[in-house]
């Protein structure tokens, strides 16, 4: 269960973005996670509130976008979907493929609340 460590690292990245943009608080966070990154979306969701407590992101919603595994075949050049433990070409069945998606573990969007505009 390394998802708590991952969430703590995520909160660190989010707070950096929030501070750079003078945020009062973070409203929502979007991350992209592929099955070959080694993290489980469900466990991340459970660990997130623990990691976020007492931070600028304490009340932020977390959206996890799952990136499906895709491979490009070195033989026939087809780009197809694949299972994490069966990384073979979906067209010709060759196992000499390059993984082109599914390894991601990235923060993609942060929505923040800043100071209300001053009233004149």
Partner 1 sequence: MCRDCGCSLGPAVQRAPFAAAAAVHGTIETIEVITAILGENDRVAAHNREHFDQHGVLALNLMSSPGAGKTALLEATIRALDGRFKLAVVEGDLATENDAARIRACGVPAVQITTGNACHLDAQMVHDALHDLPLAGLDVLFIENVGNLVCPASFDLGQHRNITLLSVPEGDDKPAKYPVMFRAADLLLITKTDLLPYLTEFSVARAHEALRQIGYGGATIELTNRGGDGFAAWLAWLEREVAAQRARVPR
Q: Is 43 in the site for partner 1 (CB under 8 A)?
A: no
The answer to whether 13 contacts partner 1 (rule: CB under 8 A) is: yes
By rule CB under 8 A, what count of residues binds partner 1?
55
What SS3 class is residue 100? strand
Regarding 101 and contact with partner 1 (CB under 8 A), the answer is yes
**CB-based contacts of 12: which residues, under 8 Å, 6+ apart?**
none
Q: Which of 55, 78, 80, 103 binds partner 1 (CB under 8 A)?
A: 103
Compute CA distances 79 → 29, 91, 100, 103, 105, whole Å.
Answer: 30, 8, 9, 16, 21
Answer yes or no whether residue 67 interacts with partner 1 by CB under 8 A: yes
Indicate whether 1 belongs to the interface with partner 1 (CB under 8 A). Answer: yes
Q: Which of 15, 45, 78, 87 binds partner 1 (CB under 8 A)?
A: 87
Element spanning 61, H or E: strand 61-66
């Amino acid at each position: 269960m390394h998802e708590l460590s991952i969430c703590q690292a995520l909160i660190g990245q989010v707070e950096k973005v929030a501070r750079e943009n003078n945020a009062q608080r973070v409203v929502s966070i979007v991350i992209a996670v592929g099955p070959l990154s080694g993290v489980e979306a469900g466990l991340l969701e459970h660990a997130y509130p623990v990691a976020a407590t007492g931070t600028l992101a304490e009340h932020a919603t977390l959206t996890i976008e799952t990136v499906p595994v895709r491979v490009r075949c070195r033989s026939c050049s087809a780009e197809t979907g694949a299972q994490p433990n069966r990384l073979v070409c979906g067209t010709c069945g060759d196992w000499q493929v390059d993984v082109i998606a599914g390894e991601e573990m990235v923060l993609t969007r942060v929505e923040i609340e800043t100071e209300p505009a001053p009233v004149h």
